[in-house]
Structure 1
Amino acid sequence: MSVDGALARVIRSAADRAERAEAEVCELCAAPVGTEHAHLYETGAAEVRCVCRLCSVLFAADGAGEGRYRLVPRRRLRLPPVDTAVLGVPVGLVFFVPRSDGTVTAQGPSPAGAMRWEVDTAAWRRLAAGVPLLASLAPDVEALLVNTVRGLDEHWIVPVDDCFRMTALIRREWRGLSGGGRVWPAVEQFFKELTERS
């Protein structure tokens, strides 16, 4: 065997190992998952877990995860402008998540992750009475996502994994004290790429 052939085999083997290491796997059974895959919300850790199609089927019915895991729905729905000022949230890029315990949290993405605070539940109920689709949000796994930054007026019902994806995008793109020149175009692109789905 030539030195060139052996070196090519070592390089190819290392590239294959790196590709396998980067490939996402199901966090329940370790099976490979594709680019588009389902997610479970782990309630105790408040984190989203990647799952394969077969494992996602196990959690499709309500109560299947005994409260520990909830299947994140895929629904995305663009809403007309919603007056979220009544909720007392002082930021223009925020997502609101109703919780299983009846509370509602607001989370604003920042370079350090998501800032989180509780919303007055009576104010949320009044808002949901005026916008009935908000009452249909699945607790813990769907959110009202709002962006009124830089002249935008975006209001969406989205799965929470979209919100976590946006938070990660901001952490990745933020530079300096004000965000720099990359973060806001990236946020605008994120919203342009949102598509409605049921």
Structure 2
Amino acid sequence: MTGDGALARLIRSSTGRASAAPGEVCDLCAAPVPEDHRHLYDTAEAEVRCACGPCSVLFAGDGAGGGHYRLVPRRRVRLPRVDTAALGVPVGLVFFVPRADGTVTAEGPSPAGAMRWEVDAAVWRQLTTRFPELASMEPDVEALLVNTVQGLDHHWIVPVDDCFRMLAVVRREWRGLSGGGRVWPAVEEFFAELTEQN
């Protein structure tokens, strides 16, 4: 879902650097951006774009920019265990994104890169009646991020750019077909560093 440039920047930002890479700029106006900058979701290209402070303000309201760009929120909410088995996704590290058109997609890492599935929207709606927090998610820009790999039990509502950062961590650390010895500790560290915020 992210363009090569945005994904590359997210991979760089997942390395824990203290400042932005030289030349890292806003995808709209080319102004330099700090490491902790906002993102816009480009609805036409289904990609995340970097945004400087002034450009992010332009897209902060409902309907701003004609709906082409949507400001990715910063809200993170840790949830109790959400039973996602009925959604039919056969992996333990995955994120679910409700879309503005009513569909729901699931995405997760694999040895061949990111995998994507369409989830039964009716089953998703049933899940939101059991877990009302899911119904509050903003389409396209928030996701349910789940990690049940190796007995873990993480369920978060997060900005979609957090999901792309998680994919970047996996992509950076993955070795061979099974991921190797570095990927799962890196994923655990990623989840350990998530903090709730409104």
The equivalent residue for 1:3 is: none
1:1-198 to structure 2, matched below 5 A, reads 22-198=22-198
Deviation at 1:20, TM superposition (A): 9.2
Aligned to 1:66, what secondary structure does the other structure show?
A: helix
Q: 1:110–1:167: 8 Å Cα contact kept in structure 2?
A: no
Gaps of 5+ in 1: 1-18
Rounded Cα–Cα distance in structure 1 between residues aligned with 2:90 and 2:174: 20
> What's the TM-score once normalised by structure 2's chain length?
0.88
Deviating runs (4+, > 4 A) in structure 1? none
Equivalent AA in structure 1 for residue 126 of structure 2: R
- Determine which structure has more spread, i.e. the larger CA radius of gyration: 1
How large is the Cα RMSD of the aligned pairs?
Answer: 1.4
* 1:5-58 CA-partner distances (Å, limit 9, x unpaired): xxxxxxxxxxxxxx9973421111111111111100011211111101110000
Q: 2:111–2:178: 8 Å Cα contact kept in structure 1?
A: no
Deviation at 1:110, TM superposition (A): 2.2
Paired residues in the alignment total 180
Equivalent AA in structure 1 for residue 41 of structure 2: Y
Gaps of 5+ in 2: 1-18
Aligned to 2:155, what secondary structure does the other structure show?
A: strand
Aligned residues with identical type, % of pairs: 77
Rounded Cα–Cα distance in structure 2 between residues aligned with 1:45 and 1:34: 24
Query: Residues 33 and 182 of structure 1: is their aligned pair in 2 closer, same or farther, counting only changes over 3 Å?
Result: same
Deviation at 1:183, TM superposition (A): 0.4
